[in-house]
Chain A
Amino acid sequence: MAAALASTHATPETPGQEFWRALRENRGAMLGLITVVLITLVALLAPWLAPYHPHLTDNTVFLSPPAWQHGGSTAHLLGTDAIGRDILSRLMHGARLSLVIGLAVVAISIVLGIALGLLAGYVRGVFEIAVMRTMDVILTLPSLLLAIVIVAILGPGLVNAMLAVAVVCLPHYVRITRAAVIAESGKDYVMAARLSGAGSLRLMLVEILPNCAAPLIVQASLGISTAILDAAALGFLGLGAQPPTPEWGTMLADAREFVVRAWWVVTFPGLAILLTVLAFNLLGDGLRDALDPKLKR
């Protein structure tokens, strides 16, 4: 109540300010945002922050434990792997890969998804049916299985894994865009633009698309975490980034056989995946609450 009274003699908030205030009040979202910023900084500065080169092997320190454990040394804070590579350095460089994977996958699927969704919602007819049925098929198949089959066909590797994950993520963006386009197309402002002579392309991209942005932004921020998780799973199965690339999932695959002897080679890469994915999910949840007050309780 006090806030409502106070706001009467202040200038009204712009939508941007309102959004930022709603996000700032959400502690989970801020925690997510801070973590994402930190991980991004580590990723950007990895070559300078990392104590060693991620591929550098040192045959004097195989499977050296982390610094705080007996036998560990401060030279390798998180220990070394089976061929003496510094785990901390590899994790820092892995952050670059994971962020690139997350952003690239979302970029590919959002661009394709918006294009297909806009066309399906705007053109309708046979094209819409064909696109939406295809998306149904992709959604019906277990996502990882489809990604695996695609990678098996294209050949294992980071780029192919990213493409596969992008395909698997595509239906969400197509569905969201199409639904928003259909909902928006009937509104008066679209009709007004059409009557004042706006062409189809202008109607789709300039009039309708910006009004579908909120759900797409939410899906994109949650999509980054899905992409990182799926790409890491492919890496773990040996189908993603190939060794010696310091991708977190691939590092875990290498570490599997040392579960019994060296807990640290298994624990840290997974922890890095979990923290990153969790941060993006927290942020995504917060964005959804801030952008779509209807969903907030």
Chain B
Amino acid sequence: MPAIEILGLEKTYMVGFLRKRPKVALRPLHLTVEDGEIFGFLGPNGAGKTTTLKLLMGLIFPTGGGARILGREWTDPEIKAQIGFLPEQPYFYDHLTAHELLEYYGQLSGVPAKGRRQRVQEVLQQVGLHDVKGVQLRKFSKGMLQRVGIGQAILHDPKVVFFDEPMSGLDPVGRREVRDLMEQLKQAGTTVFFSTHILSDAEALCDRVAIIHRGELRGVGAVEELTSSVQGKVEVIWQGTQIPATLKALGADCHVSGDTVRAVVPESQQDAAIDALRRERLRLISIAPVRTSLEDYFVEKLRRAETTAGRTA
């Protein structure tokens, strides 16, 4: 059974004061997220990522379509005991301390009173907030609030978590910790659905990703598939600053960086390039196929979408 099935969920807002006109925020979206995977929901700002998450959380109502989470209707309030949600740039009751806030959320999520306090302590440790007892949230930095946000989302040990831009506001160490935490959640069997526009995070973490742009799904697949060697080129790196003339003749694209040279040549010319380096007695450091990065794929998808939109217009 898939963890999340989005079945044509769509949202159109009516904008304008006197002359109302429709503004499509999300076109019918069909998406399936398997149990236990880390799924990245990628897109530029304003693409429809947050709209999708808000629809799934029941914070806004769809114009059409529906969804199922853990096999049940997404509108079923009881299903929410099994999901966790981190909103983008979360804001909490600033008169409370982190302990009080999590205690309160634990009560609302039905975490049993016995052991709740200990669970709160564990979660705060897990998100790196060891020493915040007695400090009201109004005194927390943005990064600390983000950690509290992640803590409240995983407090009740949910089966599916939805994170909206979880790395936002975190320093590099914090980002690394959140990545580790998401890996831990996956290992514990939790399905993680997170939106981001930081592609390196998605590439490092996700089993599969979907790309959304202007409210429309542009692509979906496993990260390995999307980033596989599709360019038919190899990258050759050697020591020194010398570029053999034969390599230039092969049409290699060469860049000198410090005391190494990086050249990209067609896969068919790989042996010829190695021979050229041997002849010049240059020390080969590495040779590897050029992989399409997630960023390349992402940019290409958006470029195509823009071109299509331009033609339609």
Q: Do A and B come from one complex?
A: no
